[in-house]
């Protein structure tokens, strides 16, 4: 179960990477896309912690999955608006996919554990 906290570390690392970049967004996007992305990552962090400490893990993990998917589209929108370079977009997308892989593994583990009970 302790391995599931890796997802929290990956999200934290993405926050550390993205916050300085988001702070440099043009003013017209700073209070829209930048804030949305930052808030999404913070919400994801909160949902990870809630899932980790809750008995109702799947409820939080499903919400987390939706938040993560929304984040993917926000990042893609930033790339399409040329707010991220190709290299930066690829790095961020890979980080989001890594979080998604951890999340998928966690969900599979919970479903498996429930089946054996």
Per-residue tens of pLDDT for the chain, all 117 residues: 455 589 999 999 999 999 999 999 999 888 899 999 999 999 999 999 999 999 999 999 999 999 999 999 999 999 999 999 999 999 999 999 999 999 999 999 999 988 886
Question: How many CA atoms within 13 Å lie on the side-chain side of 23?
Answer: 6
Q: What is the pLDDT of residue 1?
A: 45
Q: What is the pLDDT of residue 2?
A: 53
* Whether 106 contacts 4, CB under 8 Å: yes
Every domain of the chain and the residues it spans: 2-116
Q: Which CATH architecture has domain 2-116?
A: Up-down Bundle (1.20)
* Whether 24 contacts 4, CB under 8 Å: no
Among 35, 99, 94, residue whose Cα is nearest residue 86: 94
* Whether 114 contacts 40, CB under 8 Å: no
Residues 6+ apart with CB under 8 A from 104: none
Count of CB atoms situated within 10 Å of the CB of 82: 7
CA distance 97 to 19: 18
* Whether 19 contacts 3, CB under 8 Å: no
């Amino acid at each position: 179960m302790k391995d599931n906290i890796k997802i929290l570390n990956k999200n934290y690392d993405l926050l550390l990477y993205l916050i300085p970049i988001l702070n440099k967004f043009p003013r017209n996007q700073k209070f829209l896309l930048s804030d949305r992305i930052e808030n999404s990552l913070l919400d994801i962090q909160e949902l990870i912690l809630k899932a980790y400490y809750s008995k109702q893990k799947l409820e939080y993990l499903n919400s987390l999955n939706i938040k993560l998917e929304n984040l993917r589209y926000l990042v893609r929108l930033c790339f399409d608006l040329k707010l991220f370079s190709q290299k930066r977009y690829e790095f961020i997308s890979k980080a989001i996919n890594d979080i998604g892989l951890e999340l998928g593994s966690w969900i599979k583990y919970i479903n498996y554990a429930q089946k054996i009970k």
